[in-house]
Every structure is written in structure tokens, then in C-alpha cells.
Amino acid sequence: MKVRCGSCRTEFDVPGAGRFACPVCGSVNVVRTAAGQQPPPQQQAPQQNLGGYPAAPGAVPGAAPPPPPPAQEQTLPKVECPECEFTFHVGKIAKATCPNCSAEVSTGVEEEDEG
Ligand SMILES: [Zn+2]
Ligand SMILES: [Zn+2]
């Protein structure tokens, strides 16, 4: 930008705001911008993915993880049929019927009292 020396009216070029000595008379000329203040440095750098990698096309950022496996059923007591030695799960019942031989099997599980 062109400034004019305040002492000798000589025009000389300066890169911007600041204090510059006149090349002719040596007087220091304070150069200001139109606004009277030095503008802050605005470096419009292109937006970058800092600390990351570009997302692959089609990929959904922050995709939800696969759902957890379904909760397992409550572990039921296991009994062995005294007739056929077939082992099977029983519920909260004192006697169960063997699904293999239909024999009545005592599970040893106490039924819930109802009063
Ligand atoms: Zn001058
Ligand atoms: Zn059985």
C-alpha cells in the first residue's frame, strides 16, 4: 500500500500497517489500516479432518454396534429320569413327567408355597 511521508510528502510503498521510516527523510511514519487497527490474521485454511481419516463413501459415521445377544433364560434345574436316565430341565415343580418315558420324576425342587 502507498503511504505519504508526513514530513516530506514523499510517497512510498509499505507492506501494510506498522511503523516505517521514510526512505527519503528518515521520518518514522505510523501506518494504520482504514479501520485504524491492524486486522487479525485470517488464514482461511481449507477444512481438514484433523486427527482422523476421511470416511469411506457409504459408511455411516458412528454406526451403532450390533445389538447384544438376547438374555439367556434363567437356568433351570436339571433332573435325570430314574427310569430311562434321560436328563431334562424342569421348572419349579416337585414332580415332573419325563418327556422320554412319561415316568413321574421327583425333581427335588420345592414348589412355591401358596399360603
Ligand atoms: Zn520523508
Ligand atoms: Zn424317563
State pLDDT tens for residues 18-64. Answer: 999 999 999 999 988 765 455 566 666 666 656 666 666 666 667 77
Residue 114 CA to ligand 2 centre (angstroms): 29
Q: Which three cell numbers stand for residue 19?
A: 511503523
Q: How far is the CA of 21 from the centre of ligand 1 (A)?
A: 8
Domain-located, residue 52: no
49 lies in some domain: no
For the record, the C-alpha cell of 92 comes out as 419349579
**Is 56 inside a domain boundary?**
no
Q: Report if residue 41 sits inside a domain.
A: no
Cα of 28 from ligand 1 centre, angstroms: 8
Q: What is the C-alpha to C-alpha distance for residues 58 and 60, in angstroms, rounded to an integer?
A: 6
Q: What is the mean pLDDT of residues 78-96?
A: 91
Our count of domains for the chain comes to 2
Range of the domain at 23: 2-31
**Does the predicted TM-score (pTM) go above 0.85?**
no
Ligand 2 mean position, distance from CA 105 (Å) = 8
Cα of 7 vs centre of ligand 1, distance in Å, is 5
In a domain, 8, yes or no: yes
Classify residue 88: in a domain, yes or no.
yes
Q: How far apart are CA 29 and CA 95, in angstroms?
A: 107
